[in-house]
């Protein structure tokens, strides 16, 4: 240690000499400037004037958390001071830093104990507070990282080449919703460790885009299309007897020329794309970062093992994106730490972080601060010398014991429990909004219920890098009453696609349209399980309408309707009064296994103007052709003037295996009449489909105009009905409490308890209650008077004893005072006040009115006789008696059962 101290003193002396030399060099230009001619001074003044006229626009940056913005007085004691164990840890860290700087003088100082918000040095590992959040959405690393990225605003480091001098607690960072990369990493690491991940905060070096949260060169993850796995269809083995395909009569020369044109167009497009990429690469090369490899950055390392993580990876807390440990954005690591220990990287980072091995138990690659690490060291190779004697083994054991004695456990975190309120968790972004700029894209986020239309996210993609020409817009919604979830707007084609969640009144799933006007190009998809008719999809154009079905009882799977021109033009929404004329209806059916193939219709075509119906039946498995039939309805008359109903030429049949009964006119006539009714039904269903389209369009216009949002019944702050119900219940409980308090103060409640509640008392019952109340009241007065008399006599006896022993001393004032108080209470007549209080109660008044005789007012208390057959007591206050004398009692009437001692007076 003495050698180390001498070396440190020599280094400090050398630094002082260098500082003195720099001061002398700085003084020389000042002296030379003083000796310059006046012409040079005028030129400098003109230059200074020109420079002062230049206006510099400073970009706005989020304000940094300072001591002025933090009320230190409200912080806990652990924030404002260190415990003895923390002080010991700081001493250990300082000793470790001195040894590290001595052994590695070319390395930068370690980031060990920055100041917290109170200006108190705290070790970085104790700043991590592992916390499991009570929200299921924050149980996985991706959702935790996304929450931290959305909830906090990025503040750049004051010096991009050095770690910050202050590292605030996660509670303060959450309160102010801003912080630098170290604050982001500390909060994210605390959440990940609480969720069960093996996470670490990393102090290292990153690229300029990573440190400045610049995503303008990265592609937005929402624009990446997932590769669809194409399932190869099994080839059906060819049948023995198959029809040869028709000859291809197209010109091969024309096909080759068309292919050449397509190849030329694709080559031109590829050449343009490569030129654009080359131009972008040249622009990026021209903007080389002069501080490449020197910019300090902090991120989170998640090691494999826990929570079924198969491979270690990085998480950038600014963008919530995961990177491989071989990524080029990460250029070096100085140290990393968790809530238990601190490790220093001893590996060379000349190739970035690509060659780093994250075996924290290897003391050669990672130097740890504390011995009590939870990482098991590497297994020692079994190359020990067989000639090792027992003494050497004992020395090794003693050395291990000494190391164990010197181990030091990490103190508990000084940070309070990390808490995120439901309001803050729902709001997410600062002030409810956040904008992220990507390459040819812009992502905007809002908090739920912030926008009246329920908009929570919008992704805008552009054609150019300057983001001036909009290509398409995607908008995500939440809590919409119309269950709208996503809207995709293509600016180049004008196509809008709305996606709905289950629960729409019309079971709508997807609605693609260019205009909300009816009879225009549109596609509607439905949830077939929520519809009775099994409709899956409906495609509509100005002249056609196609519907697809699934799971119908009549096996209908397809319907296509062709429309003609209207005779008279009316409003487009008057389809019910002036529907489009139907020209052709084509229907297709699935195979019905209960019918033979020759009788199961596969396709049915109604040619309405021509009054023709074409039928095509399913093909048998052992056949290559299917039966067909065509009906022609005629309205002609014969030579006698009779209407022609059915003739052989009105039905054209092609049957694979002819049957006799199908050739009869009666069978054909019944089949034609059945088809006529089915044609009417099909036309009616097509007309209902048109009306349904109009109804859906009208409903969508109303929903877009209303923008009604749904509120959960558990959201007590936004749900007015729930709030009113809760307030009503609280009011009822308050009234019930008041009634219980009043019942406890009711003097007649003990006497009315034997009678059923809510029933009127009879005259005899009322008299009985009154008599019991009066007798109990009188008994209480007698007991109280007896008690006072007993206390008075006791005090008198004590006073007499004291006078005998202390006649010479004037110590009798206290006893005299007590006797005077008791005498005044007897003379005051408190029992009269109690009687007055009883008669003033509402219940007593009701009882007295009930007892009142019907012939006149009730008699006075002195005239009535009590329930015991004795006259009521006429109590009078006792006379004032001289001090020390025995009191005398007045003539009174007492109950027969009351026997008072000779000293009792009333």
- The better pLDDT of the pair 759, 860 is held by 759
Cα(309)–Cα(197) distance, integer angstroms: 8
pLDDT for the residue numbered 719 = 78
Cα(350)–Cα(328) distance, integer angstroms: 12
Query: What would the mean pLDDT of 333-359 be, rounded to a whole number?
Result: 92
Query: What tens digit of pLDDT does each residue of 853-878 get?
Result: 544 444 443 344 443 333 333 333 33
* Structure tokens that stand for 206 in this block: 């990153």
pLDDT for the residue numbered 53 = 61
- Statement: residue 460 has pLDDT above 60: yes
Q: What whole-number percentage of the chain has pLDDT above 70?
A: 73
pLDDT for the residue numbered 316 = 95
pLDDT for the residue numbered 635 = 64
CATH class of 83-214+290-368: alpha beta
- Statement: residue 595 has pLDDT above 70: yes
pLDDT for the residue numbered 861 = 38
Cα(905)–Cα(789) distance, integer angstroms: 7
pLDDT for the residue numbered 656 = 86
Query: What tens digit of pLDDT does each residue of 181-196 get?
Result: 999 999 999 999 999 9
Backbone phi, then psi, for 277, in 5-degree steps?
-65, -40
- Determine how β-strand 153-154 pairs with β-strand 178-179: parallel
For residues 513 and 496, is the Cβ–Cβ distance under 8 A? Answer: yes
Q: How does residue 405 score in pLDDT terms, banded at 50, 70 and 90? A: very low
Query: What tens digit of pLDDT does each residue of 637-691 get?
Result: 555 656 667 788 888 888 888 887 777 888 888 888 899 999 999 999 999 999 9
Count, residues in the chain = 906
Query: What tens digit of pLDDT does each residue of 575-585 get?
Result: 556 788 999 99
- The better pLDDT of the pair 404, 725 is held by 725
Q: How does residue 205 score in pLDDT terms, banded at 50, 70 and 90? A: very high
Poorest-confidence range of 122-131, 227-236, 630-639, 816-825?
A: 227-236
pLDDT for the residue numbered 818 = 76
pLDDT for the residue numbered 387 = 43
Query: What tens digit of pLDDT does each residue of 238-259 get?
Result: 666 667 777 888 888 999 999 9
For residues 70 and 80, is the Cβ–Cβ distance under 8 A? Answer: no
- Statement: residue 87 has pLDDT above 90: yes
Q: What is the mean pLDDT of the chain?
A: 79
pLDDT for the residue numbered 21 = 55
Cα(722)–Cα(724) distance, integer angstroms: 6
pLDDT for the residue numbered 659 = 81
> Which residues have C-beta within 8 Å of that of residue 252, sequence separation ≥ 6?
none
pLDDT for the residue numbered 383 = 39
Query: What tens digit of pLDDT does each residue of 484-535 get?
Result: 999 999 999 999 999 999 999 999 999 999 999 988 999 999 998 999 999 9
Q: Residue 581: which of 694, 683, 689, 692 has the closest Cα?
A: 683
For residues 297 and 318, is the Cβ–Cβ distance under 8 A? Answer: no
Integer angstrom CA distances of residue 308 from 198, 199, 200, 304, 321: 11, 13, 17, 7, 19
- The better pLDDT of the pair 725, 596 is held by 596
- The better pLDDT of the pair 759, 471 is held by 471
Q: How does residue 621 score in pLDDT terms, banded at 50, 70 and 90? A: confident
Element (H, E) at 764: helix 763-805
pLDDT for the residue numbered 201 = 96
Q: How does residue 441 score in pLDDT terms, banded at 50, 70 and 90? A: very high
Q: What is the DSSP letter of 138?
A: G
For residues 148 and 195, is the Cβ–Cβ distance under 8 A? Answer: no
DSSP letter for each residue of 340-375: S-EEEE-S--TTTTTT----TT-TTTEEES-S--SS
DSSP letter for each residue of 218-261: SPPGGGPPPPP-PPPPPPPPPPSS-PPPPP--S-HHHHHHHHHH
Cα(288)–Cα(278) distance, integer angstroms: 16
Q: Residue 621: which of 654, 586, 656 has the closest Cα?
A: 656
Buried b / exposed e over 479-509, threshold 16 CB at 10 Å, is: bbbbbbbebbbeeeeebbebbbeeebebbbb
pLDDT for the residue numbered 905 = 32
Q: How does residue 231 score in pLDDT terms, banded at 50, 70 and 90? A: low
Integer angstrom CA distances of residue 235 from 51, 232, 238: 80, 9, 9
Cα(748)–Cα(439) distance, integer angstroms: 84
pLDDT for the residue numbered 402 = 44
pLDDT for the residue numbered 63 = 44
Question: Strand, coil or helix: what is 738?
Answer: helix
* Structure tokens that stand for 289 in this block: 């970062």
Q: What is the DSSP letter of 546?
A: E
Q: How does residue 903 score in pLDDT terms, banded at 50, 70 and 90? A: very low
For residues 183 and 198, is the Cβ–Cβ distance under 8 A? Answer: no
Start-to-end Cα distance in the chain: 98
Cα(322)–Cα(315) distance, integer angstroms: 5
Taken in order 140, 141, 146, 149, the sign of the CA dihedral is positive
Helices (H), 246-389: 252-286
Query: What would the mean pLDDT of 83-95 be, rounded to a whole number?
Result: 93
Q: How does residue 698 score in pLDDT terms, banded at 50, 70 and 90? A: very high
For residues 682 and 585, is the Cβ–Cβ distance under 8 A? Answer: yes
Cα(900)–Cα(902) distance, integer angstroms: 7
pLDDT for the residue numbered 155 = 92
pLDDT for the residue numbered 694 = 93
- Statement: residue 902 has pLDDT above 50: no
Cα(270)–Cα(272) distance, integer angstroms: 5
Cα torsion at 136, 142, 144, 146 (round to 10°)? -120
Query: What tens digit of pLDDT does each residue of 794-808 get?
Result: 999 888 888 877 776
Integer angstrom CA distances of residue 833 from 718, 774, 838, 904: 55, 15, 9, 21
Question: Strand, coil or helix: what is 12?
Answer: helix
Cα(484)–Cα(480) distance, integer angstroms: 6
Cα(691)–Cα(697) distance, integer angstroms: 10
Backbone phi, then psi, for 146, in 5-degree steps?
-65, -35
- Statement: residue 60 has pLDDT above 50: no
* Radius of gyration over every alpha carbon of the chain, rounded to an integer in angstroms: 49
Specify burial of residue 49 (Cβ count, 10 A radius: 0-12, 13-18, 19+).
exposed
Query: What would the mean pLDDT of 218-235 be, rounded to a whole number?
Result: 67
Question: Strand, coil or helix: what is 82?
Answer: coil
Q: How does residue 113 score in pLDDT terms, banded at 50, 70 and 90? A: very high
DSSP letter for each residue of 853-864: -TTSSPPPTTTS
pLDDT for the residue numbered 848 = 63
What are the start and end residues of each CATH 3.10.620 domain in the chain?
83-214+290-368
Element (H, E) at 297: strand 296-302
For residues 371 and 377, is the Cβ–Cβ distance under 8 A? Answer: no
- Residue that has been written with the tokens 């899956």 in this structure: 536
Calculate helix-pair angle for 842-851, 830-839, nearest 10 degrees: 70
Backbone phi, then psi, for 540, in 5-degree steps?
-135, 135
pTM for the model stands at 0.66
Question: Strand, coil or helix: what is 514?
Answer: coil
pLDDT for the residue numbered 875 = 37
Q: How does residue 35 score in pLDDT terms, banded at 50, 70 and 90? A: very low
> Own/partner pairs for 575-578, CB < 8 Å, 24+ apart?
575/518, 575/519, 575/690, 575/691, 575/694, 576/691
């Amino acid at each position: 240690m003495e050698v180390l101290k001498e070396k440190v003193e020599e280094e400090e002396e050398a630094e002082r000499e260098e500082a003195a030399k720099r001061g002398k060099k700085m003084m020389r230009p000042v002296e030379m400037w003083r000796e310059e001619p006046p012409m040079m001074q005028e030129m400098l003044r003109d230059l200074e004037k020109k420079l002062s006229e230049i206006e510099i626009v400073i970009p706005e940056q989020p304000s940094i958390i300072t001591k002025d913005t933090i009320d230190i007085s409200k912080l806990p004691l652990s924030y404002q001071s260190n415990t003895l164990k923390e002080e010991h840890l700081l001493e250990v860290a300082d000793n470790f830093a001195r040894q590290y700087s001595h052994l590695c003088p070319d390395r930068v100082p370690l980031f060990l104990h920055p100041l917290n918000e109170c200006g108190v040095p705290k070790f970085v590992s104790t700043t991590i507070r592992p916390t499991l959040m009570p929200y299921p959405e924050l149980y996985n690393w991706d959702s935790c990282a996304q929450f931290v990225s959305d909830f906090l605003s990025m503040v750049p480091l004051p010096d991009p080449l050095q770690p910050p001098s202050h590292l605030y607690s996660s509670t303060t960072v959450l309160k102010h919703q801003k912080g630098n990369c170290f604050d982001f990493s500390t909060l994210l690491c605390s959440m990940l460790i609480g969720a069960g991940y093996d996470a670490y905060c990393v102090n290292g070096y990153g690229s300029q885009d990573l440190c400045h949260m610049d995503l303008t060169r990265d592609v937005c993850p929402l624009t990446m299309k997932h590769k669809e796995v194409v399932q190869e269809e099994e080839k059906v083995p060819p049948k023995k007897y198959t029809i040869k395909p028709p000859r291809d009569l197209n010109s091969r020369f024309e096909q080759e020329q068309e292919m050449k044109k397509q190849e030329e167009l694709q080559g031109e497009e590829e050449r343009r794309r490569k030129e654009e990429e080359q131009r972008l690469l040249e622009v990026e090369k021209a903007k080389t970062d002069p501080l490449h490899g020197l910019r300090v950055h902090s991120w989170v390392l998640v090691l494999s093992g826990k929570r079924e993580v198969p491979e270690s990876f990085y998480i950038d807390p600014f963008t919530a994106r995961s990177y491989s440990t071989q990524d080029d954005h990460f250029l070096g690591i100085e140290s990393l730490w968790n809530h238990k220990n601190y490790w220093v990287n001893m590996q060379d980072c000349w190739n970035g972080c690509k060659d780093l091995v994250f075996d924290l138990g290897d003391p050669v690659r990672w130097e740890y601060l504390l011995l009590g690490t939870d990482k098991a060291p590497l297994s020692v190779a079994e190359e020990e010398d067989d000639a090792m004697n027992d003494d050497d083994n004992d020395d090794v054991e003693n050395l291990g014991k000494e190391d164990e004695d010197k181990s030091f456990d990490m103190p508990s975190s000084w940070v309070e429990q990390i808490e995120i309120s439901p309001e803050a968790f729902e709001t997410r972004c600062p002030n409810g909004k956040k904008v992220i700029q990507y390459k040819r894209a812009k992502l905007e986020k809002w908090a739920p219920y912030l926008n009246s239309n329920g908009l929570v996210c919008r992704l805008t993609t552009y054609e150019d890098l300057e983001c001036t020409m909009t290509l398409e817009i995607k908008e995500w919604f939440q809590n919409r009453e119309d269950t709208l979830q996503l809207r995709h707007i293509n600016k180049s084609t004008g196509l809008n696609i709305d996606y709905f969640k289950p629960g729409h009144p019309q079971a709508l799933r997807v609605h693609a349209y260019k205009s909300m006007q009816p009879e225009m190009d549109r596609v509607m998809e439905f949830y077939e399980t929520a519809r009775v008719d099994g409709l899956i999809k409906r495609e509509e154009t100005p002249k056609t309408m196609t519907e697809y079905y699934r799971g119908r009882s009549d096996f209908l799977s397809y319907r296509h309707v062709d429309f003609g021109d209207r005779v008279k033009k009316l409003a487009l929404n008057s389809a019910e009064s002036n529907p489009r004329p139907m020209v052709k209806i084509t229907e297709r059916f699935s195979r019905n296994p209960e019918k033979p193939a020759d009788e199961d219709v596969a396709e049915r075509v109604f040619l309405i103007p021509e009054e023709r119906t074409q039928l095509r039946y399913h093909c048998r498995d052992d056949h290559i052709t299917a039966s067909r039939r065509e009906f022609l309805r005629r309205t002609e008359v014969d030579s006698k003037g009779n209407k022609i109903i059915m003739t052989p030429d009105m039905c054209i049949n092609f049957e694979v295996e002819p049957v006799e009964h199908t050739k009869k006119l009666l069978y054909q006539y019944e089949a034609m009449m059945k088809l006529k009714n089915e044609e009417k039904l099909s036309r009616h269903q097509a007309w209902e489909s048109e009306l349904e389209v109009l109804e859906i369009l009208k409903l969508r216009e109303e929903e877009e105009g209303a923008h009604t949002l749904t509120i959960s019944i558990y959201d007590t702050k936004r749900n007015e009905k729930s709030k009113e119900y809760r307030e009503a219940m609280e009011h009822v409980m308050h009234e019930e409490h008041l009634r219980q308090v009043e019942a406890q103060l009711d003097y007649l409640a003990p006497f009315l308890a034997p009678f059923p509640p809510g029933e009127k008392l009879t005259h005899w019952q009322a008299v009985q209650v009154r008599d019991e109340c009066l007798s109990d009241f009188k008994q209480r007065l007698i007991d109280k008077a007896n008690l006072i008399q007993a206390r008075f006599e006791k005090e008198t006896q004590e006073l007499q004893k004291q006078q005998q022993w202390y006649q010479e001393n004037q110590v009798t004032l206290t006893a005299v005072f007590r006797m005077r108080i008791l005498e005044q209470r007897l003379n005051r007549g408190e029992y009269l006040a109690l009687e007055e209080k009883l008669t003033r109660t509402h219940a007593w008044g009701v009882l007295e009115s009930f007892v009142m005789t019907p012939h006149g007012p009730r008699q006075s208390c002195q005239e009535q006789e009590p329930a015991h057959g004795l006259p009521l007591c006429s109590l009078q206050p006792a006379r004032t008696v001289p001090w020390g004398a025995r009191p005398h009692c007045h003539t009174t009437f007492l109950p027969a059962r009351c026997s008072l001692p000779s000293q009792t007076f009333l």
